[in-house]
Amino acid sequence: MELLAHEVTTSDDGASITAQVLLDGAHRTVVGRGNGPIAAFVHALSSDLGITVEVLDYAEHAIAAGTDASAVAYVEAQGDDGVVRWGVGVHESILSAGLRAVVGAVNRQS
């Protein structure tokens, strides 16, 4: 799976996401809600693609100092098989880095 694009809306009630992903060569649109963007993305993967992933831990940090530095996010996740896998995402946006980290963990489940 590859994350192509995403739109996230947040409010006091949580977050919603519409994401474009490439799964096995097919373009798919997924939509989900959760208490934050990562939870909303996980919900979207589950409800629209049947991909079960539970995020157990999440960490993020800047790679360098400055306003144009990239961010890296790490996700510890577990699938239906109970095996824990890690995903790592890098992007200028910490949100995009986090979503890419989820995708990385999902790709390791396959």
Domain 2-109: which CATH class? alpha beta
Among 62, 22, 55, 23, smallest CA distance to 40 is for 55
Q: What is the pLDDT of residue 66?
A: 80
Question: What value does the mean pLDDT take over residues 9-38?
Answer: 97
Q: What is the pLDDT of residues 32-88, one digit of tens each?
A: 999 999 999 999 999 999 999 999 999 999 998 887 889 999 999 999 999 999 999
Q: What is the pLDDT of residue 24?
A: 95
Phi, psi of 46, rounded to the nearest 5 degrees: -70, -50
Among 73, 24, 34, 27, smallest CA distance to 54 is for 34
Where do the domains of the chain lie? 2-109
